[in-house]
Amino acid sequence: MNAHIGTFLSIGSPTIAELAALSGFDWVLIDLEHGSGSESAVPEQLRALRGSKTRGIVRVGAPHADLIARVLDWGAHGIMIPHVSSAATAEAIVQAAHYAPRGGRGYSRSVRAHDFGLRPAEQAPAPIIMAQIESIEGVKHAAEIAHVDGIDVLFVGPADLQHDLTHRAAAAPGDFAKCLRLVVAAAKDAGKETGILARDLGDVPHYLEQGFTQIAIDSDLAILRKSWQQILSKFRSQS
């Protein structure tokens, strides 16, 4: 599989979303779990992507059917759900994201996802569903989660997973490196993709070698913070 590069959008700005698309990212993650933007900021960010090849994935804060349906109605190409640790949760997510007969999502022809009634809903592609594996339980059940029809990507949340491993190491199937291998193997066995957030560009070659195909490079907020720190550090060292 070819690798696809994305980035997290935490600030909630449509200008930044547009710039990310113009820069050529394959996808962006509009973050409603930890980001600064509210739900009301999502539609404008999605509009900023229109006409580009950049897919807009929205991370909702929890696997609630109303949250999932709302961002998909607004035109998100897909969703990311945090803390998926069982096949039952994964199946409920798929049910919430799909219309009948696959799921129970409420049906409306007039939402933005269907060009406000100008495009038949039947022509809309299936939403991309990224299930986040970020706990020991998620790693242990990665194989069952990956085999749920409709789950496209097992996306590792490294910070949460490392935090869980630090505090509950005795319950883990191995260290962080082994957990990554287990998740990649589970996804590969099910014919699914694996993703991860890389805070350091230097980690990307290693992730690619491991088999990760959906790699997010940092976030808008973190990139801005690091750049400002570098500017100020260089200025102060010369003044």
Catalytic annotation, residues: 34
Q: How far apart are CA 143 and CA 213, in angstroms?
A: 17
Q: How far apart are CA 92 and CA 79, in angstroms?
A: 13
Question: Which parts of the chain are beta strand (E)?
Answer: 4-9, 27-31, 55-59, 78-81, 128-133, 153-156, 193-198, 214-219
Q: Residue 211 carries which DSSP code?
A: T
The two tokens of residue 57 are: 């994935």
Handedness of CA 156, 162, 163, 168 (dihedral sign): positive
Length of the chain: 239
Q: Which residues contact 140 (CB under 8 A, 6 or more apart)?
A: 173
Residue 104: other Cβ atoms inside 10 A: 15
